[in-house]
Amino acid sequence: MTKPKSYMLAVPSRPRDIEEPQLFLDRLHATGAFQLISERMEEETLYLDISYEGEAYTAEIYPTDFTVPELYRCQHLFPDVDAEAVQAAEFGLAVVMEFGTNPLSSYHLQLKLIHTLLPDVLAVMDDSSEKILSGRWVILAAQSAVPPAPRYLFTAQAVSGEEDCVWLHTHGLNRCGRPELEVLNSDKKTYQTHYNTLETLAYRLLEDDDTPEYGKPFFLAYVTQNIPLVITLVDWEEAVSCYPADMLGGKNDREDGHNENTCAVFVYPTPESAEEGQYSSLDIYDEMLQDNPIYMISTSETKRMKALAAERMEFLFRAFSDKNNHLLVKLGLLVDEPYRTDSNDREHIWFEVTDLKDGHLTAKLTQEPYYIANLHEGHVGTYEPGEITDWLIFTPEGRLSPDDVYLLTM
């Protein structure tokens, strides 16, 4: 599959910044975020060759006018003054780049490039995923050694009409070299569980090097402890032929979009159905999907989350000094011997922080572990910060994760 380019539009805090190409060149030559190999200017477009983490990239930079699209999802909270400035802006800086072999690393580079060009960027319109990103979040993410969460690479939208039908589909996976994903003929009662399945599948496709062939069975999760969720991908043209043409997301909805590099998600409920290629709609699992299916977090994502939690640990420690805050930490503890594998020997479980002193934390277990027999809910122990794999701060205003600490800079 040919990868489309990733389109982002950066909204400057000072509009005149995008009128000074030499300022961009000075910042590009001074950056330590990546290596600038070459640059050339043709009319109003700046073409760049970049090296980042051992891979070569090209980018196009040019000023453009814009209006904020109505249907874009606002991924972050904005202070009122920032939101007003974004709505009033008329010109921005387009930053266009083709992703490399690692989508998450490529996405991180695009943010670093934007931050280099506009160090105090106001907001970013990620056109490929139809998201609006806070400039404060972009700055923090670009300065980080840890890439953002995979969920930033795409958006899963739920479109509904006057009828009960809901059409779920993604935006952003194409730029990663993956097909966009859809669930057809969902409904307003169950679409959230289908959304969770769609999102989990997108994460898996982003992590795996190869996308499953259309029609092939692909194990995704367990809907219960003993029942596997085996999905299959079906090309959109074949998928819509199973439904009325005038259905939401049906054939008649495909003339102006959603008609390239997109596929629908179906399931194989039995080994026999997989052998025969007789797929079924995801809704056959609706009852079981509502009972918290077992979606596992991959080892690589666990490591990324731990690295980000460690990098921003100072925010957690600072929050503890305010007694109005409530802190939770996820600790990765060694499981009992029978449950250890070569790829995983830790269970990640939530604790409530009761004390922080001399770089150590005292915490109370908030749940019953699955794989540690002698540890029970309510247990209080002392732990090292290095054992933390994730954390949450509950303030009177809301919940903050390591990804959300940009809010504390407002």
Looking at residue 2, its pLDDT comes to 59
Backbone angles phi, psi at 119, to 5 degrees: -60, -25
Where does residue 107 fall: left (phi above 0), alpha (psi -120 to 50 degrees), or beta otherwise? alpha
pLDDT of 170 reads: 97
The 10 Å Cβ neighbour count of residue 373 is: 11
153 closest CA partner among 134, 126, 184 = 126
User: What ranges in 167-296 are assigned the alpha helix state H?
Assistant: 191-207, 236-240, 271-276, 286-289
Query: Under a CB-based contact definition with an 8 Å cutoff, are residues 157 and 130 in contact?
Result: yes
- The pair of three-digit structure tokens given for residue 175, joined into one six-digit string: 């730029």
How deeply is 338 buried, as exposed, middle or buried, from its count of CB atoms within 10 A (0-12, 13-18, 19+)?
exposed
| C-alpha 403, offset from chain centre | 11
3-state SS assignment for residue 394: strand
CA gap 390, 404 in Å, rounded = 12
Strands (E) across 259-309 are located at 262-267
Please list the residues that pair with 221 across neighbouring strands.
Answer: 229
Amino acid at 256: D
Side chain identity, residue 104: L
Count CA atoms within 13 Å of residue 24 on its CB side.
26
Q: What CATH architecture does domain 6-152 belong to?
A: 2-Layer Sandwich (3.30)
For residue 53, the SS3 value is coil
- The answer to whether residues 181 and 202 touch, using CB atoms and an 8 Å cutoff, is yes
The answer to whether the CB of 34 falls within 8 A of the CB of 52 is: yes
The pLDDT, as a whole number, for residue 20 is: 83
d(Cα 259, Cα 277) in Å, to the nearest integer? 23
Starting at the edge strand that comes first in sequence, how are the strands of the sheet with 165-171 ordered?
155-160, 165-171, 180-187, 262-267, 228-235, 218-222
**Which pLDDT belongs to residue 294?**
65
Q: Judging by DSSP bridges, how do beta strands 346-357 and 360-365 pair with one another?
A: antiparallel
- Residue closest to 173 by CA, chosen among 152, 147, 146: 152
Read off the pTM: 0.92
The reported pLDDT for the residue numbered 146 is: 97
Q: Which residues of the chain have pLDDT under 50?
A: none
Q: Which among 172, 159, 128, 189 is positioned nearest to 250, based on CA atoms?
A: 159
Domain ranges for the chain: 6-152, 154-289, 299-409
